[in-house]
C-alpha cells in the first residue's frame, strides 16, 4: 500500500513539474510575439511619417504634370548616381566581337513589345523607366538629338559597316563624338517622343539599311 502511495506521489510531482515548464514556455512565446508586434508597429509609424512627408513635398508643386515630373526627376537623379559609367564589365566580351552589335542593349528585366517588320525598323524593349541602356558594341557617338517621334536619341557608329540607334531615352550620358566601349551604359530608358509607355526602341543599321536585331541577339523568351 505504502509503495502504491509513493508511486502516486511521484507521478503527481512529475505532472505538476511538466505543467509548470509548459506554462513558462508559453509565457516566453507570448512575450516574443509582443516584442515583434511592437517592432512592426514602430516600423509602420515611421513609414506613415515618411509617406506624409513625401506627400507634403509633392503637394507643394502645382499641377499634376509637375508633380509627376518632380517625382520622375528625383527618381532619375537617384538612378543616375547608381550608374557606374566606368565600364568595368567590358573585359567580359570577346575582344574579336568588340565592334559587332551582338549583345542585348538593356540591363535588367524587359519584355519585347514590338518586333522588327516592314513598318517597324527596330526592336522594342518594354522596361522600367530608368533601366540602363548599354552600347552593344564599341564605337563613337555619331549623334545625340531630340526627335518629335523618337524622343531623345543616341546613334553610335561602330567603325565598320554597323551603326546602332537607341530611342525614347529619358537621359543620355554622352555628347556627340564621345567614344564608348561595348557594354558601357550610355542612357536610361524613358518615354520621350511619340511613346505610350517606357520602352527602348533599338535599331541596327548595316551599311545604312535597317536589319533585324534578332539576327544578332537571342531574346525569344
Ligand atoms: Zn519601336
Spell out the residues 6+ positions from residue 167 whose beta carbon is closer than 8 angstroms to its own.
Answer: 122, 147, 150, 151, 152, 153, 193, 200, 201, 202, 203
Distance 120 CA to ligand 1 centre (A): 6
- Nearest 5 degrees, angle CA 107-CA 112-CA 113? 125
Rounded to the nearest 10 degrees, the angle between the axes of helix 64-82 and helix 2-59 is: 110
Checking if the pLDDT of 8 tops 80, the result is yes
Distance 182 CA to ligand 1 centre (A): 22
Distance 122 CA to ligand 1 centre (A): 6
Distance 20 CA to ligand 1 centre (A): 72
Distance 175 CA to ligand 1 centre (A): 23
d(CA 38, CA 114): 50
Distance 8 CA to ligand 1 centre (A): 87
Distance 132 CA to ligand 1 centre (A): 17
- 10-52 per-position pLDDT tens digit: 777 777 778 777 877 777 777 777 887 777 777 777 777 776 7
- 94-149 per-position pLDDT tens digit: 888 999 999 999 999 999 999 999 999 999 999 999 999 999 999 999 999 999 99
d(CA 158, CA 140): 6
d(CA 41, CA 44): 5
- 60-87 per-position pLDDT tens digit: 556 666 766 776 777 677 766 666 555 5
Amino acid at each position: 500500500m505504502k509503495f502504491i502511495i509513493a508511486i502516486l506521489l511521484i507521478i503527481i510531482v512529475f505532472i505538476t513539474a511538466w505543467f509548470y515548464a509548459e506554462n513558462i514556455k508559453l509565457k516566453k512565446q507570448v512575450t516574443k510575439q509582443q516584442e515583434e508586434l511592437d517592432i512592426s508597429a514602430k516600423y509602420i509609424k515611421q513609414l506613415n511619417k515618411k509617406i506624409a512627408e513625401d506627400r507634403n513635398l509633392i503637394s507643394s508643386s502645382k499641377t499634376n504634370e509637375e508633380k509627376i515630373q518632380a517625382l520622375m526627376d528625383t527618381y532619375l537623379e537617384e538612378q543616375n548616381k547608381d550608374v557606374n559609367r566606368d565600364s568595368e564589365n567590358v573585359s567580359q566580351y570577346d575582344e574579336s566581337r568588340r565592334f559587332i552589335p551582338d549583345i542585348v542593349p538593356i540591363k535588367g528585366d524587359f519584355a519585347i513589345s514590338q518586333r522588327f517588320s516592314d513598318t517597324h525598323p527596330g526592336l522594342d524593349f518594354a522596361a522600367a523607366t530608368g533601366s540602363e541602356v548599354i552600347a552593344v558594341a564599341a564605337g563613337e557617338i555619331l549623334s545625340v538629338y531630340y526627335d518629335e517621334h523618337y524622343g531623345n536619341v543616341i546613334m553610335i557608329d561602330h567603325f565598320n559597316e554597323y551603326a546602332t540607334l537607341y530611342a525614347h531615352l529619358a537621359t543620355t550620358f554622352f555628347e556627340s563624338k564621345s567614344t564608348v566601349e561595348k557594354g558601357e551604359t550610355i542612357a536610361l530608358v524613358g518615354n520621350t517622343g511619340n511613346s505610350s509607355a517606357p520602352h527602348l526602341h533599338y535599331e541596327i543599321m548595316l551599311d545604312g539599311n535597317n536589319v533585324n536585331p534578332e539576327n544578332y541577339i537571342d531574346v525569344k523568351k
